[in-house]
Amino acid sequence: MKEARYFYVPNAAMETALPAEEAIHATRVLRLKEGDELFLMDGEGYFYRAEVALATPKKCLYTIKETLRQELAWRGKIYLAIAPTKDMGRIEWMTEKGTEIGFDEITFLDCKFSERKTLRTDRIEKIVISAVKQSRKGWKPVVNSMTPFHSFIEKHSNNGRKYICHCYQEIPRADFFTAITQEESSPTGEDITVLVGPEGDFSIDEVRFALEHGFESVTLGNSRLRTETAGLSAVMMSQLARRM
Amino acid sequence: MKEARYFYVPNAAMETALPAEEAIHATRVLRLKEGDELFLMDGEGYFYRAEVALATPKKCLYTIKETLRQELAWRGKIYLAIAPTKDMGRIEWMTEKGTEIGFDEITFLDCKFSERKTLRTDRIEKIVISAVKQSRKGWKPVVNSMTPFHSFIEKHSNNGRKYICHCYQEIPRADFFTAITQEESSPTGEDITVLVGPEGDFSIDEVRFALEHGFESVTLGNSRLRTETAGLSAVMMSQLARRM
């Protein structure tokens, strides 16, 4: 059961061929042949044990032999919304590590003090898929493109509790980890949505706007963290609070 | 109180000049002049508010105006011993993030299945110092050079509890976070030492050797984590368990 034999195939049960890039990897790099075993991950809760039905240099058809339903590893959805750093490398590693540790959805926020106003999510999506395969996640996190802060706040409708991390001492802040572990979960569900701002923090008006829309004011602790470290800490804390 | 005005000066109270590299940064990049305020961090629990006494292109003398004793942010020592990955970038970011989140000491282990057998710690040391300054840590983590697994196990004498993370299902494993949060701390202290193996894991003989020497067998949870993610997770969990 070699690592390389895991392939990400959205809608795998309805398809019969690997996507183009995965097919090239399967047939040219791994040199899989008719009858060889491979594993498909649909990113929606199912793995499939399959066999190569036909392999050409550009094509790889498969036949599913066994459906392997994946178990949920945590309760509720963990949703991170974060202002991306100027340096893409930092955002990329955070997304890779967040996927390994486990979250459900990420949105990049365009905030008042954001250092980065545009972002190509295709590269992020590839990193997520690679981390999903490497860490054998049953579900692929959803990657959303850059969204203006205010419209995110107004439209966000996940169940459960919603938190905004910030550094304004004049606004009372609960401890995030204590909040998600010790408080009762919301009557609408166990989902956690957590917002992390840019290096220069959210503006105080952004924080107030979020609080008016049902977000709770929190701190991740006393450490002075970079944006990407804060994002990963929030994911890690959410995991520890919701893991099964 | 600009970030750039923080300088790492070991033994700052006994010295009167910034170290060469810091002096160049102070006088050439920041163009500090006589009478300008700067902050010194000694990495041993003290910050100092100081003033420039003399600035030349290569030299920066200071006079200490105020001693600022730092508060401990967590109980006991958090000690990570980890087999470095082949890719130095991954080890470097883990060390940077570990410093931001907070740990006391790191040792790189030479294990049976290690992909990397040598390691220059001077670059790691620089990354740690930069992260100490950026995250304003009162204490600089100690960075130790590569150590053979068996001699580390035999010589390690920190107080408190010692853990080895591994993936062998045939050896019973406790959950690391549960162990450090719910069990009583050791009669000898609250220090946490945690060992993380290479991508190919510790050998089963290495695990058994550690268990014979007082280490406890643990898992970091159900996620399949890369070495560097496992190391950072162990530090984050230790922080959550020991933070004040």
Which pLDDT tens digit goes with each residue over B163-214? 999 999 999 999 999 999 986 767 777 899 999 999 999 999 999 999 999 9
The tens digit of pLDDT for each residue in B49-69 reads 999 999 998 899 999 999 999
The stretch B71-76 carries a mean pLDDT of 94
Residue A185 in tokens: 């979960």
A107 vs A1, residue with greater confidence: A107
Residues of A in contact with B224 (CB under 8 A): 100, 134-136
A229 close to B (CB below 8 A)? yes
Rounded to the nearest integer, the mean pLDDT of chain A is 94
- Please list the alpha-helical segments (H only) found in chain A: 20-24, 88-101, 121-134, 149-155, 176-182, 204-212, 227-242
Q: How far is CA A167 from each of CA A111, B29, B47, B226, rounded to the nearest angstrom?
A: 15, 29, 22, 31
A70 close to B (CB below 8 A)? no
Q: Strand A37-41 to strand A46-55: parallel, antiparallel, or no bridges (unpaired)? A: antiparallel
Per-residue model confidence (pLDDT) at position A107:
97
Instruction: Give A130's contacts (C-beta < 8 A, 6+ positions apart).
Output: A96
Q: Which residues pair with B139 in a beta bridge?
A: B44
Residue indicated by tokens 């496992």: B230
- Rounded to 5 degrees, φ, ψ at A225 are -105, 145
The tens digit of pLDDT for each residue in A145-164 reads 999 999 999 999 888 899 99
Per-residue model confidence (pLDDT) at position B72:
94
Instruction: Give B24's contacts (C-beta < 8 A, 6+ positions apart).
Output: B57, B58
Chain B nearest-CA distance from A239, in A, is: 10
Interface-testing mutation among A1, A74, A101, with chain B (most B C-beta atoms within 10 A): A101
Cα B125–Cα B135–Cα B239 angle in degrees, nearest 5? 90
Q: What is the ipTM of this complex?
A: 0.92
Per-residue model confidence (pLDDT) at position B4:
63
B97 close to A (CB below 8 A)? yes
Residue B114 in tokens: 């290690």
The tens digit of pLDDT for each residue in B118-146 reads 999 999 999 999 999 999 999 999 999 99
Percentage of residues in chain A having pLDDT higher than 90: 87
A225 close to B (CB below 8 A)? yes
Instruction: Give A139's contacts (C-beta < 8 A, 6+ positions apart).
Output: A43, A44, A45, A70, A104
Q: Is residue A184 over pLDDT 90?
A: no
Per-residue model confidence (pLDDT) at position B148:
97
Measured from the Cβ of residue B27, the count of other Cβ atoms closer than 10 Å reads: 20
CA distance A101 to B140: 27
Chain B nearest-CA distance from A223, in A, is: 6
Q: How many helices (H) and strands (E) does chain B have?
A: 7, 11
Per-residue model confidence (pLDDT) at position B188:
73
Chain A nearest-CA distance from B12, in A, is: 23
- Please list the alpha-helical segments (H only) found in chain B: 20-24, 88-101, 121-134, 149-155, 176-182, 204-212, 227-242
A223 close to B (CB below 8 A)? yes
Helix (H, G, I), strand (E, B) or coil at A79: strand
CA distance B124 to B107: 11
Beta-carbon separation of A223 and B102 below 8 A: yes
Q: Which among B136, B226, B243 has CB closest to A221?
A: B243
Per-residue model confidence (pLDDT) at position B222:
85
CA distance A60 to A62: 7
Interface-testing mutation among A127, A236, A239, A243, with chain B (most B C-beta atoms within 10 A): A236
CA torsion B124-B126-B132-B133 (nearest 10°) is -160
Beta-carbon separation of A237 and B233 below 8 A: no
Beta-carbon separation of A229 and B136 below 8 A: no
The tens digit of pLDDT for each residue in A193-235 reads 999 999 999 999 999 999 999 999 999 998 889 999 999 999 9
Chain B nearest-CA distance from A97, in A, is: 7
Q: Is residue A3 over pLDDT 60?
A: no
Amino acid at B168: Y
Q: Which residue of B has its CA nearest to A177?
A: B240
Chain A nearest-CA distance from B117, in A, is: 24
Q: Is residue A130 over pLDDT 90?
A: yes
Residue B120 in tokens: 């220059």
Measured from the Cβ of residue A91, the count of other Cβ atoms closer than 10 Å reads: 24
Q: Which among B100, B222, B229 has CB closest to A225?
A: B100
Beta-carbon separation of A101 and B229 below 8 A: yes
Q: Is the pTM of this model over 0.80?
A: yes
Rounded to the nearest integer, the mean pLDDT of chain B is 94
Q: Strand A46-55 to strand A60-69: parallel, antiparallel, or no bridges (unpaired)? A: antiparallel
Beta-carbon separation of B243 and A236 below 8 A: no
Beta-carbon separation of A100 and B224 below 8 A: yes
Q: Is residue B223 over pLDDT 70?
A: yes
Q: Is residue A189 over pLDDT 90?
A: no
Beta-carbon separation of B101 and A226 below 8 A: no
